Chains A and B, each alone.
Chain A
Amino acid sequence: QQQVKQSPQSLIVQKGGISIINCAYENTAFDYFPWYQQFPGKGPALLIAIRPDVSEKKEGRFTISFNKSAKQFSLHIMDSQPGDSATYFCAATDSGGGADGLTFGKGTHLIIQP
């Protein structure tokens, strides 16, 4: 019930295209959903996050879409650039009672081809 399932495992997109990564969760107590970007040799860096009171959040070229009834959320990267090539992790946590850690998906290795 604590799992976050992420797909695809790897993704190749042409420069300028749209990259889409999907995640699904089971724990209905989850109420904070961040996306992290990780480059080789670096720690995860927060990209964008959403709470379930909204269905979409956009920051620059990055958009999270959230479907509470389906318990799914996705990251869309518009106008994908070679510099976006990285591993992306979705995560989730619940805000009730204590500093719960993030539950991460298994990651998506994104390659943007020039």
Chain B
Amino acid sequence: EPEVTQTPSHQVTQMGQEVILRCVPISNHLYFYWYRQILGQKVEFLVSFYNNEISEKSEIFDDQFSVERPDGSNFTLKIRSTKLEDSAMYFCASSVGDVGPQHFGDGTRLSIL
């Protein structure tokens, strides 16, 4: 069964550094999403992406965040200047349509020191 893959599984970064999280969505999916889950808390929506532009974003997704689809397969989340509170699991998801099943990857654990 096709799946969403995320790399790396764990990223450790110094505060203030830039970090890029990578995702390969399911190949025939057109909508892409990033979510985060702070340890012990609920999953929170960050941003959705369709047709090479942001479709929706939450209040969490401020100017330090950006997303990109640099080629036909990858979807990336960049955090420009990381803060301690950015430490979380970051999940990528994809879906065929704008409403319907979203399929999640296994996440990248981001640890900011």
Tell me the count of chain B residues lying within 8 A, CB to CB, of chain A.
30
Segment of B13-21, B62-70, B78-86, B98-106 in the binding face? B98-106
Q: Which residue on chain B has the smallest CB distance to residue A39? A: B106
Among candidates A31, A32, A44, A107, residue contacting B104 with C-beta atoms closer than 8 Å: A44
Is the beta-carbon distance between A32 and B35 smaller than 8 angstroms?
Answer: no
Q: Which residue on chain A has the smallest CB distance to residue B34? A: A101
**Contact mask for chain A residues 79-114; partner B; CB cutoff 8 A; 1 contact, 0 none:** 000000000010101010011111111110000000
Is the beta-carbon distance between B42 and A105 smaller than 8 angstroms?
Answer: yes
Give the complex CA separation of A93 and B32 in angstroms.
Answer: 15
Is the beta-carbon distance between A99 and B91 smaller than 8 angstroms?
Answer: no
The secondary structure that dominates the B interface is: strand
Q: Does A54 contact B (CB under 8 A)?
A: no
- Whether A104 touches B101, Cβ cut-off 8 Å, given contacts A43-B91, A99-B48, is no
- Whether A42 touches B55, Cβ cut-off 8 Å, given contacts A32-B99, A95-B99, A98-B98, is no
- Residues of B whose CB lies within 8 Å of any CB of A are 4, 31, 33, 35, 41-50, 55-56, 58, 91, 93, 95, 98-107
- Closest approach, in angstroms, between the C-beta of B41 and any C-beta of chain A? 7
Q: Which residue on chain B has the smallest CB distance to residue A31? A: B99
Is the beta-carbon distance between B91 and A32 smaller than 8 angstroms?
Answer: no
Tell me the count of chain A residues lying within 8 A, CB to CB, of chain B.
25
Is the beta-carbon distance between B106 and A104 smaller than 8 angstroms?
Answer: no
Is the beta-carbon distance between B55 and A106 smaller than 8 angstroms?
Answer: no
Is the beta-carbon distance between A44 and B58 smaller than 8 angstroms?
Answer: no
Give the complex CA separation of A107 and B44 in angstroms.
Answer: 12
Among candidates B4, B48, B101, residue contacting A101 with C-beta atoms closer than 8 Å: B48
Is the beta-carbon distance between B56 and A42 smaller than 8 angstroms?
Answer: no
Give the complex CA separation of A100 and B49 in angstroms.
Answer: 10
Q: Which residue on chain B has the smallest CB distance to residue A49? A: B101
- Whether A95 touches B98, Cβ cut-off 8 Å, given contacts A101-B46, A102-B45, is yes
